[in-house]
Structures are given as C-alpha cells and as structure tokens.
A and B are shown apart, each in its own frame.
Chain A
Amino acid sequence: MHDLAQQIVSGLATGSIFASMALALVLIYRSMGVINFAQGELAMFSTYVAWQLVQMGVPMWGAFFITIVVAFAGGVLLERLVIRPVERAPQLTLVIVTLGLFTAINGLAGWFWGYVVKPFPTPFPTTPLQIGGVAFSAQDVGVIVVSLVTLGLISLFFQKTKLGLAMRAAALYPDQSRVLGIRVGWMLALGWGLASVVGAISGIMIAPVVFLDPNMMQSVIVYAFAAAVLGGIESPIGAVVGGLILGVVLNLLGTYVEAIGNELRLAAALAIIVAVLVIKPSGLFGRATVQRV
C-alpha cells in the first residue's frame, strides 16, 4: 500500500512535468495552430543555461529565476525572428521550420556544452518527507508543488489580467482584436515567451532525474504530445489532466507490468497518441473540429 502511494506520487511528479510541457504546446497551438516541435529543445537549452549559472556560483534558486527571464526573452525573440515570417505559410512549412529550430538548438547545446551526460543539482532537499507514515521523495513533492504553482499562475494570468485577456482575444479573433488596438503579433510573441518559460521550468524540474544532455527532452516531448492529445490539443485543462493521468498510468504500468518495463513506456505513449487520434481526435476535453469545405 505504501509502495503504491509512493508510485502514485512519483507518477504525479513526472506527470506534472508532462502537464507543463503539454501546456506549453497547447499555448502555442491555440494561438497559431502550430505544433512547436522545438518546445522540448528550448526547455533543454534553458536547463543548460541554469546549469551554467550554477557552475558560475549562482545559488540554485537564483539561477532558476534568471533562467526564466532568459527563456522568456529567447521565446519572444525566436517568434519575432523565425516564426513571424512564416506565420501564414502552409502547415508543412511551419512543421519544417520548427523542426529546423529543433535541430539547430540541439546542435548549439552540443556545441557549447558537449554531448557528455552531466548530473544536475536538485533544488530540493534530499531527505524524504514523512507524510502519514509514508516516505515520499522531496524531489517528487517539490516538482509537483512547483509545477502546480506555475500552472496556477499561468491560469490566473490568462483569466484575471488585461494582458491575458488580450492574448486570448488575439488567439481566437486576430482580426477583431487588431481593430480593437491589440498588437496581435506581439501577443503571439508573448505566447512563445510564456511557453518557453513553462518549458524551462519543466526542464529544470526533470533534469535531476533524467540528467543533462542535449537529447534529454526527446522522450519528454513525446510524452507531452501524448498528454496534449489525450486532453485535447486545444484545451489547457486537458493538457494538465492528460499529463497527470499519463504520468501516473505510465509509472504504474512500468512498475507493475513486467512486459512494459522502462523501454516500452515510449511505445505506450505512442500507442496512446495513435489510439486517441484515431478514435477521438478531440481528446478528453477538446471540441470536435469541423472541416470547412
């Protein structure tokens, strides 16, 4: 029973990271109909920035906040420089451009920091927490708390601030928003900045577990795809719920079902993606899309 509780909490911890990455994907998908294949690589690069800061003697949480600022600026900059020119291009062009970003950022990280796997310091205490007689790892609990706070702040931002409202308006009704004086282009760039911040936080949270290397986010992004698809790719709530479900289910499957183990977790995520897209493409929370003829 204790074992099960530990496994569930540990599943929620990875799940909240999937949820954050999925939310980052959904933020961009909602505003411009683009799947940002480079989202994971942006997160990986930000995590390297945090690592570099820690190496230079900045305390862990200081590095955390500086990285957030860097990630935000990077996201905004990339949108302005790279995505803006192809904003209205066909889907294939956008997919290839984000894959170009993926490849370039992956290579840059390898160029700057090499391909040797590096340990990443955990920002949380290493002694387990005793809750109700069960020992939980402080890393797991910390990850869940940080992720939930992040998601809560994002949601507050979109629901309660003028800027958040403007961003939602720009995403849903770009033409009408422009008439109302909202700078739609900058709203999209802000969206990329926010998504990049959410990604950076996920990267820092998961790095102590998966370690730091340029390919660290490759499987995480697939889990995030699975979470986003499961929840409905247009639904922020869906992304979060999808991520948490996926984290717990994959962790329990990996632990208790011998045949799946660690290696086939990715295959399970792939199976979820395909099954949801074939059976119910709108996911758990999305609306069915209608194709205009």
Chain B
Amino acid sequence: MARAIRVGIAVVVIAILPAIVPSFVVFDFIYVAAYAIAILGLIILTGMNGQISLGHGAFMALGGYVVAVLAHNLGWPYWVGVPLAALASGAFGLVIGAIALRLAGVYLALATFSLAVATPSFLKHYKSITGGFGGLSLDAVKAPAGLPTSGQQWLYYVAWAIAGAAFLASALIVRGKFGRALRALRDNPIAAISFGVNPYSYKTLAFGWSAVLSGIAGAFLAMTTAYVSPDTFTFALSITLLIGAVLGGMMTFWGALVGAIVIEFLPLVAQQVNAGAPSVVYGVTLILMMLFVPDGIVGGLQRLTRRLVRRVPSPTAFEPSVPAAASMAVDQPTRE
C-alpha cells in the first residue's frame, strides 16, 4: 500500500512538472529519465546480481549511436531507431555477459573498465559511420502534429513513459523466480547452483537486460542533446552511472531515480565552484558513502525512518545494521 502511494506521488510529480518549472529544468529532467533507466540497469546487474560493470557507458554509446546513425545516415524515424538501439545493445550485452561468466569479481571490473576507456577510440576510428571526432548531429524531436505540446515537452513525456515502462517491466522480471535466482547467485553462488539455478543463463540474461536498458538510455541521451560524439560517451559517463547507483542505493529501484537526480544536478551546482569540483565531490562522497552508508541515500533513509517511526532498537545481530554491505559480496577467487 505504502509503495502504491509512493509510486503514485512520483507519477503525479513527473506528470505536472513541465507545467510548473521553467523549460531548461524540463530539459534537465529528460536527462534524469535517461540516467534513471541506465542506473536501473546497473542496479539489476550489480546490486541484484553482484556483477560489477564499470563499462555501462559503452552500452549507452551503442544505443545512442544506433539511433543517431539510423536517423542521420538513413533518415529513419526515432520510433524505429529506439527499439533497434535497445535490441543492438541487448545483443551486445548478451555477448559481454557470456564473456563475463568467465571473469569473476575484480577481473570483470578490470575488463569493463578497459571497455569503457576504449569506447571513444572505437567511435573515432570508424569515421565513415560514426562521423569520427566531430560526431553526428540529429534533428530535434518534434511533437506529433495536432498536439499542443512543444517538442521538448513531448520528448519529456515519452522519455518518462519509457522510463516508467522500464521500471515496471524490471519490477515484474525481478519479482518472481528470475529475481530470486539473481539474488541467490549473488549471495551464495554455490548453494544456488546446488539448488538447480543455472548460473550461465541467469547471469547472461541479467547482463542482456541491463544492456537493453542502457541502450535505451543512450538513445534518449542522443535525442535530447540532438548530437552524439565520442566525447559524449567517455569513461567519465560509465563512472558517473556507477556513482549514481551507489549514491542512490543499489538495493532498491528507487535508488535509480534518486541517483539519476543527483548525477544530473550535483555537477551543475558544483561546477560553479570549479571545473574540477564535481569530480572531487563525487569521489569524496563515493568513499564516504562506502564507509558509512553502503546502501545509498534510499537505503540510509529507509533505515532512518524505520528507526524513527517504529522506535525499534538499533538492528541486532539477527539483522545486520548494513545489510547491503554484507550482501554486496562478489564471488572472488581465493588464493591457495
């Protein structure tokens, strides 16, 4: 019930926002929708399944470039481009997911880190398709004829509708057997496998779905900016997504929403101090959060309200005070 109320409030706020805030803020909130979708993908993969990806910017790049190349080079409409972006990114995700099965724990982090750093150089190399350094510019999204909204408002509603659908679909997917299998593989892979959970299919599918979401996010990033270039999808983007997931909280989907708002607006504020300030704030917060609030803003708030509302004593040994930290264990090879 409480959840229905929270979801209802979120939907209403998102629906009336364009009517009450200036148009440049509406613009920011389209980015929030895109980031929320991408971070949701990261939460499913890393938070729920324990696979570390530092390279989700690469999937966003693929999604963004699929839409951009189809629109710019072939003149295809966006409503064809976005589903194809999701498909392409998902297929790439399945491939990376299959490779990731062989790379436990920190090795996966290392490989995806390298993927993220190498992404812009791929984009620069295949100039004839991607436009190289200069990137590709796109037509601004227009509202369908007959609607009283501006193109920007139209894109805002479409982006949030897709985000809503992504959250709903993900919630349905992780609710039942699939979600249980993912969490079991994260918390105790050996026990899960003994109980007949097939690690190969579930982990690969988690990677694939996560990539689908990131691909869609990349597509919306491209359409909102009406421009893609190798500089859009640097390593900094991948790391920003991870920061959003950690700050928001990896254990619930609400973390994606909160994380997306933080990574969109925090740099805008911090930049006014100094160009380097956003990174400094991000880095220091990341470390402090891992030390003191490993379950993120949402997780921390939940614990706080639980404590205030129910007046229960602080968690005992049966309920570890930071459940997130304990369950974030990733299968790691031990030395002989």
A interface with B by C-beta (< 8 Å): 33-35, 37, 82, 85-86, 89-93, 95-97, 99-112, 114-115, 214, 218-219, 221-222, 225-226, 229, 234, 261, 263-267, 269-270, 273-274, 277-278, 281, 287, 289-293
Determine if A95 and B279 form an interchain contact, defined as CB atoms under 8 angstroms apart.
no
**Chain B nearest CB: distance from A48 CB in Å?**
12
4 interchain residue pairs of minimum CB distance: A104-B283, A107-B279, A110-B276, A111-B276
Q: How far is the CA of A105 from the CA of B54 in the complex (A)?
A: 18
Task: Identify the interface centre among A107, A112, A261: most chain B CB within 10 Å of its CB.
Answer: A107
Which segment, of B64-72, B99-107, B171-179, faces chain A? B99-107
B280 contacts A by Cβ under 8 Å: yes
Q: Indicate whether A95 sits within 8 Å of B335 (C-beta atoms), given known contacts A85-B291, A266-B117.
A: no
Residues of B contacting A267 with CB < 8 Å? Answer: 118, 121-122, 125
Q: Which of B103-147 contact A (CB under 8 A)?
A: 103, 105-107, 109-111, 113-115, 117-118, 121-122, 124-125
Given contacts A86-B290, A93-B325, A226-B114, 20 further A-B contacts (CB under 8 A): A86-B291, A92-B50, A93-B328, A96-B286, A97-B287, A97-B290, A99-B242, A100-B283, A103-B279, A103-B282, A103-B283, A110-B275, A214-B276, A218-B235, A222-B117, A267-B125, A270-B118, A277-B111, A281-B103, A291-B334
What is the interface of chain A mostly: helix, strand, loop, or mixed? helix
Residues of A contacting B332 with CB < 8 Å? Answer: 33, 90-91
In the complex, residue of chain B having the shortest beta-carbon distance to the beta carbon of A279 = B102
Q: Indicate whether A266 sits within 8 Å of B328 (C-beta atoms), given known contacts A97-B287, A100-B283, A222-B113.
A: no
- 26 chain-A/chain-B pairs, Cβ below 8 angstroms: A33-B106, A35-B106, A37-B113, A85-B291, A90-B325, A90-B329, A91-B106, A91-B330, A92-B328, A97-B290, A100-B290, A104-B282, A107-B276, A107-B283, A218-B117, A218-B235, A219-B117, A266-B114, A266-B121, A267-B118, A274-B99, A274-B111, A277-B102, A278-B102, A281-B102, A293-B190
Q: Indicate whether A106 sits within 8 Å of B118 (C-beta atoms), given known contacts A91-B332, A92-B46, A96-B290.
A: no
Residues of A contacting B115 with CB < 8 Å? Answer: 270
Determine if B113 and A89 form an interchain contact, defined as CB atoms under 8 angstroms apart.
no
Determine if A292 and B114 form an interchain contact, defined as CB atoms under 8 angstroms apart.
no
B277 contacts A by Cβ under 8 Å: yes
Q: Indicate whether A35 sits within 8 Å of B110 (C-beta atoms), given known contacts A107-B277, A267-B122, A278-B102.
A: yes
Q: Indicate whether A111 sits within 8 Å of B280 (C-beta atoms), given known contacts A96-B286, A273-B111, A291-B333.
A: yes
**Chain B nearest CB: distance from A112 CB in Å?**
8
Against A, the Cβ 8 Å flags (1 = close, 0 = not) of B74-101 are 0000000000000000000000000100
Contact-residue bracket for chain B? 35 or more
A92: which of B113, B281, B291, B329 is its contact (CB, 8 Å)? B329
Residues of A contacting B26 with CB < 8 Å? Answer: none
Q: How far is the CA of A102 from the CA of B279 in the complex (A)?
A: 9
Q: How far is the CA of A289 from the CA of B107 in the complex (A)?
A: 13
> How many contacts A-B (CB < 8 Å)?
172
B336: which of A33, A34, A91, A289 is its contact (CB, 8 Å)? A289
In the complex, residue of chain B having the shortest beta-carbon distance to the beta carbon of A293 = B190
Residues of B contacting A261 with CB < 8 Å? Answer: 125
In the complex, residue of chain A having the shortest beta-carbon distance to the beta carbon of B125 = A263
Residues of B contacting A105 with CB < 8 Å? Answer: 283
Q: Indicate whether A110 sits within 8 Å of B279 (C-beta atoms), given known contacts A100-B290, A278-B99.
A: yes
Determine if A225 and B113 form an interchain contact, defined as CB atoms under 8 angstroms apart.
yes
**Chain B nearest CB: distance from A153 CB in Å?**
27
B199 contacts A by Cβ under 8 Å: no
Q: How far is the CA of A226 from the CA of B111 in the complex (A)?
A: 9
Q: How far is the CA of A90 from the CA of B246 in the complex (A)?
A: 15
**Chain A nearest CB: distance from B132 CB in Å?**
9
Q: How far is the CA of A214 from the CA of B334 in the complex (A)?
A: 35
Residues of A contacting B336 with CB < 8 Å? Answer: 287, 289-290
Determine if A222 and B118 form an interchain contact, defined as CB atoms under 8 angstroms apart.
yes
Q: Indicate whether A89 sits within 8 Å of B325 (C-beta atoms), given known contacts A95-B52, A264-B121, A266-B121.
A: yes
Determine if A91 and B103 form an interchain contact, defined as CB atoms under 8 angstroms apart.
no
B239 contacts A by Cβ under 8 Å: yes
B243 contacts A by Cβ under 8 Å: yes
Residues of A contacting B5 with CB < 8 Å? Answer: none
In the complex, residue of chain B having the shortest beta-carbon distance to the beta carbon of A292 = B334
Determine if A111 and B277 form an interchain contact, defined as CB atoms under 8 angstroms apart.
yes
Residues of B contacting A97 with CB < 8 Å? Answer: 286-287, 290-291
Residues of B contacting A107 with CB < 8 Å? Answer: 276-283
Determine if A104 and B114 form an interchain contact, defined as CB atoms under 8 angstroms apart.
no
Task: Identify the interface centre among A96, A109, A270: most chain B CB within 10 Å of its CB.
Answer: A96
Residues of A contacting B190 with CB < 8 Å? Answer: 293
In the complex, residue of chain A having the shortest beta-carbon distance to the beta carbon of B124 = A263
Determine if B50 and A102 form an interchain contact, defined as CB atoms under 8 angstroms apart.
no
